[in-house]
Structure 1
Amino acid sequence: MLESAVPSPGLSERRTRALLSPWFRLGLLLLLLAGAAATVLALRPERMLADGWPPQLSGGTAVVLFAAAYGLCTAAFVPRPILNLAAGALFGAPMGTTAAVAGTVLGSGIAFGLGRLLGQDALRPLLRGRWLSAADRQLSRHGFRSMLAVRLFPGVPFAAANYCAAVSRMGWTPFLLATAVGTVPNTAAYVIAGSHASSPTSPAFLAAMAFLAVTGLAAVVVAWRKRGRVRPAPRP
C-alpha cells in the first residue's frame, strides 16, 4: 500500500517537465501580471498627485523609495505620465527626474526579466508573420538603437515595448542603457510640468507642455508617413 502511494520516477519527472514547460511559465507570467494589475487598481497610486508623499519620509530616502515604487508600478502597468507628474510635484525637477528615470529603468528591468524568464520560450515560436519577424530581427540585431528609437518615440506603449524586447534576443545591457537614455527627454518634460503644476502659466510649464505636444505631433507624422511602407506577408 505504501509503495503504491509513492509516485514513480517517471511520473515525478513528467510533473517536473510540465511545471517547467514554456506554456506553464507563460501562464504563470499572465497570472502575475493580472495580480499586479488588480493590486494597482486596489491601491490607486495616482492618489499621490492629490495626497502627496508621507510626511515622515523626506530627503534621499524618499527619492529612493519613490524610485522603487515607481519601478514596481510601471511593471504593473501604471501609466508613466501619472508617475512622472507625481515625481515633479513631490521632489521638483532635478530630483524628480532622477527618481523617475531610475524607476523607469527598474520597472523595465523587472518586466524584461519576467518576460525573458517566463514568456520567451513559449512566444518565440509564434513569431512567424512578416511584421513580427521583422521586428524580432531588428530588436535582436540592433538592440540599442532600436530600443532607443522606441523610447524616444512618444505613443509606443511602455509595457508592450518591454515584453516585446524580452521575447527577442536583445541583451540586457543594450536594453537597459537605451531605456535609461531614451526616456530622459519625455520624462523630464513631464516632471517639469508636474513641478510647476501650481502655476500653469509659468514659462517652464508652458515649455514642457509645448515639448510634449511637438514630440507627440512629430510621432504622429512619422507614423503616418511610414504607414504604407509595411505590407503584410503575401499568402502562399
Structure 2
Amino acid sequence: MFEDFINLWDSREEIRVFVKNHPIAGGILFVFLQALQVIIAPLPGEVTGFFAGFLFGGIYGFMLSMAGLMVGSLISFYIARFLRKKFFKKYRQSPIYLKVKKIFYKHGLTGMFLLYLFPGFPKDLLNYLLGFMPVSLKGFTVVCFLGRIPGTFALSLQGDVVYGGHPQSIILVTLTFVIVFLIFLLIKKRIEGWLEKDPTT
C-alpha cells in the first residue's frame, strides 16, 4: 500500500492534468465511487475525502466529495426505509442502533447533527439507521449535509496541502488537525453526557 501511495505521489501532476483535461468524466467517476463507498463502505470515508483534495484540489474536491456523500447517503436512507423489515431485524438489537434511537428520541435532529459531526462515528451506518426513524427526507438531507461539511472540507483541504508538498504547510495543517482533535477529545465526554442526559430532568 505504501508503494502504491509513492507511485500516486510521483504521478500526481499527471493525474491532475488528466482531471483538468477531463473535468466532467473525472468528477462523475469520483462522485460515483464516493457514493459507492458510502453505500457499501469498502473504504473509510476519510480516505476518499483526503484523495478528493489530493486529486482535484481543495474546493473542487470538497464539492465532489460532498456530492458523492449526499448521493450515497440518500440511497442508503431509502434502502433502509423501503427494506425496513429486512434490515430492522438485523439492527434492532445492535448497541449502536439502540444508542442512536435513544439520542434521536431525546434530542431529535439536533442529536443526529452532532453524531454526523463526531470524528470516527460510523456515519455511513447512521444513514441506514435514520431510515428506521420517523424523520422526513428533508430533515435527513439537511442534517446529513450540514453535519458532513466540516469534516469533509478539512479532509479535502488536507489532501490539497499534501499534494502541494510544502513542508511548512503540511506541518501547519497537521498541527491544526491535532489541536482540533485534542479539543474534541476534551469536550467529547461533555457532549456525550449531554446527549445521554434526560431532557425532562
Shorter chain as denominator, the TM-score bin is: 0.7 to 0.9
Cα distance in 2 for partners of 1:197, 1:160 equals 29
1:62-110 Cα deviation digits (max 9, x unpaired): 2122112211122111211110111111110111000001111111111
Following superposition, the deviation at residue 122 of structure 1 comes to 6.0
Q: Which runs of 5+ in 1 are unaligned?
A: 1-45, 232-236
- AA of the residue aligned to 2:137: W
- AA of the residue aligned to 1:135: I
SS of structure 2 residue aligned to 1:183: helix
Q: Which runs of 5+ in 2 are unaligned?
A: none
Q: Contact conserved, 1:190 with 1:208, CA < 8 A, in 2?
A: no
Q: How many residues are matched?
A: 181
Matches within 5 A, 1:147-166: 147-166=112-131
Say which of 145, 158, 179 aligns to 1:214: 179
Say which of 167, 187, 191 aligns to 1:201: 167
Partner of 1:109: 74
- AA of the residue aligned to 2:27: V
Cα distance in 2 for partners of 1:106, 1:72 equals 9
Confirm whether residue 135 of structure 1 aligns to residue 103 of structure 2: yes
Q: Which consecutive aligned stretches of 4+ in structure 1 deviate over 6 angstroms post-superposition?
A: none
Q: Contact conserved, 2:103 with 2:111, CA < 8 A, in 1?
A: no
Following superposition, the deviation at residue 182 of structure 1 comes to 1.6
Following superposition, the deviation at residue 218 of structure 1 comes to 3.3
SS of structure 1 residue aligned to 2:120: coil
1:162-207 Cα deviation digits (max 9, x unpaired): 122111111111111122122111111111111121425243x444
Following superposition, the deviation at residue 136 of structure 1 comes to 4.2
Q: TM-score, normalised by structure 1?
A: 0.63
Partner of 1:19: none
Closer/same/farther in 2, CA of residues 120 and 218 from structure 1, 3 Å limit: farther
Q: State the superposition RMSD in angstroms.
A: 3.3
SS of structure 2 residue aligned to 1:61: helix
Partner of 1:186: 151
Identity %: 19
Closer/same/farther in 2, CA of residues 228 and 187 from structure 1, 3 Å limit: closer
Partner of 1:69: 33
- AA of the residue aligned to 2:119: P
Cα distance in 2 for partners of 1:228, 1:188 equals 27
Partner of 2:24: 60
Q: TM-score, normalised by structure 2?
A: 0.73
- AA of the residue aligned to 1:64: I
Cα distance in 1 for partners of 2:125, 2:168 equals 35
